[in-house]
Amino acid sequence: MQDTESHLALPAPRGLRLARERLLLPLALMLLVVSLSAAISLGAVPVETRTVWGVVANKLWPGLVEQTWSAGREAIVWEIRAPRALLAVMVGAGLALVGASLQSVTRNPLADPHLLGISSGGAFGAILALLHTGLFLGTLTVPLFAFVGALGATGIVLAVSRFTRSTSADRLVLAGVAVSFIVMAGANVLIFLGDPKAAHTVVFWMLGGLGIAQWAHLGYPLAVLLGAGIWLWLRRAEFNAMTVGDETAATLGIAVARFRLASFVVGALVTGVMVAFSGIIGFVGLMVPHIVRLICGGDYRVVLPASALVGGIFLLWADIVARTVLAPEDLPIGVVTGLVGGLFFIWVLGRRA
């Protein structure tokens, strides 16, 4: 088996790599805008692109564009699809950032919040809040419980890996998968013991979806994404050093154990909040950083912002597929990402053989 480190930073000719770095972020940003437009336009009721941007322009600057569309079209664009598309961008960006950071601090190309059990812990916390404790803290209850659940699952994975001496990259993933199964078993018990009339609502967290997106709720994932994104960006040099190895990072003055723990806590926070609003969406954190590194190499100065942009783009198109393939019914987005991610996972394993 090839060395794990080689998959975290694929080499490329310096000139080609620099050209890709300069082009990747602007192109990804333009593609994100195009994808947002498509996500709002496409669906069971198609809406013309000019109508989409006309509605958006009038909402931001009233009277800027002459209204030629119906009130129904405006409601579809602004009240339903726009917040859903923005939530897709935030969730995709957040999960991709977590995946990129975990792959660095664990030196494991297969690290992902889903495979390491963090997403399952977030779902456990959300289900506990919905079916058993009630929203006693208001709208903050589910995100807070999801974060605590994700953090708890992270702690269990680290404890299991230490107890079983699973220090290698592959065994850490196996520990995460085992914990994920245990936590999801606990979540199923919570569902079984909960109100049968309300239990069907938690299927959303089991399969993943963006259907509950509302403007009033977007502030929470946005705040967490911005805060975590800034924290990760400011530590891009540490992530670069961690990909080389603990000893090298330590010689550069990095408190390796503390930095790894902090990265896991930030990852649990982001994953927990995203799971609270989107359910379990797997493999985004696994796939996106790999794709970015294939294009521009392993420098986290580029990997982090590019992963956020590409993650948002990927989840937008996954949601488009989920909304259109069985229209007017919505296919759970976790089904789409699971199918694509499973195939990608097999491809990664094949490359490492």
Amino acid letter, residue 207 = L
Residues 224-273: tens digit of each pLDDT: 999 999 999 999 999 999 998 888 889 988 998 889 889 988 998 999 89
Longest dimension (CA), the chain: 66
The residue written with tokens 């990265």 in the block is 263
- pLDDT higher than threshold 60 for residue 10: no
Q: Give the number of domains in the chain.
A: 1
Q: What percent of the chain has pLDDT over 70?
A: 91
Higher-pLDDT residue of 6 and 234 is 234
Close Cβ partners of 253 (under 8 Å, ≥ 6 residues apart): none
Please report, as a single letter, which amino acid is at residue 78.
Answer: W
CA distance 205 to 77: 25
**pLDDT confidence band for 212 (50 / 70 / 90):** confident
- CA separation for the pair 131, 123 (Å, rounded): 12
Handedness of CA 226, 232, 234, 236 (dihedral sign): negative
Residue 15: per-residue pLDDT: 60
Instruction: Give the domain CATH number at 324.
Output: 1.10.3470.10
3-state secondary structure at position 220: helix
Q: What beta strand segments (E) does the chain contain?
A: none
pLDDT at 352 exceeding the cut of 90? no
Q: What is the pLDDT of residues 78-121, one digit of tens each?
A: 999 999 999 999 999 999 999 999 999 988 887 888 878 888 89
Evaluate whether 157 touches 176 at the Cβ level (below 8 Å). yes
Phi (first) and psi of residue 27, to 5 degrees: -65, -40
Structural domain for 74, as ranges:
4-352
Give mean pLDDT, residues 337-344: 89
The gap from C-alpha 27 to its chain's centroid, in whole angstroms, comes to 21
